[in-house]
Amino acid sequence: MRTFLYPGASGHCVQRPAVVPRPPFRSVPFRPVSKWRLHMTTIKLNNYYPHLTECVTLEVSEEIAVTLSIGGRMCDSYKRRKRDHDECSLDGTPGFEADVTYPPLTPEEIMELAEDHAALYAALDRLPPVQARRVYAHYILGRSKTGIARAENVTENAVRDSISRGMEKLKILLGNLR
């Protein structure tokens, strides 16, 4: 039989069966745990959000406090591993690692990226089909030159030469656009 803890008359917790008999009809709904209070913990949000400028305290349940502390410990262990294995970023802002945080792109940067992608694909369209396919597979899809050669049943040198000639033509085509 399941049991629950309820506040007793003296304020201490009393173990009672899960089935609580309902009292006779009342106009107010019956709430058997109305005096029961969850254990709350006060936390400082500045410990979890370092970008906050003012001290903010918040009262949360113990479960949330434990979850936040686990996340903090995971972050500390990540920083410790980075330090112990001599991994650091010199171009990051203090308190943040450059490989973890990426600032959002500005609308101008988004437009420039879209224009660059459009120019790149337009230049790829102007290449011969074999060169375009091989350059696309190697640089955009990330396939190896050996894998491309095996897939097309040609020698690896033929793929290397084709890709290098395609890159030279792309350099000329994209150089004319700028």
Point out the domain boundary residue: 102, 125, 157.
102
Per-residue pLDDT at 157: 95
Task: Give a yes or no: residue 27 inside a domain.
Answer: no
pLDDT-flagged residues of the chain (< 70)? 1-38, 86-102, 177-178
Range of the domain at 66: 1-19+34-102
Residue that the structure tokens 């899809």 belong to: 141
Q: Which of 102, 125, 151 is the last residue of a domain?
A: 102
Q: Has this prediction a pTM greater than 0.75?
A: no
Nearest by Cα to 123 from 168, 159, 162, 164: 168
Give how many domains the chain has, as a whole number. 2
Res 91: pLDDT: 56
Q: Which pLDDT does position 74 carry in this prediction?
A: 84
Residue 41: closest CA among 73, 66, 13: 66
The reply to whether 82 and 124 lie within a common domain is: no
| The two three-digit tokens of residue 110, written as one number | 């988004």
pLDDT given at position 2: 47
Query: In the prediction, which pLDDT does 51 show?
Result: 80
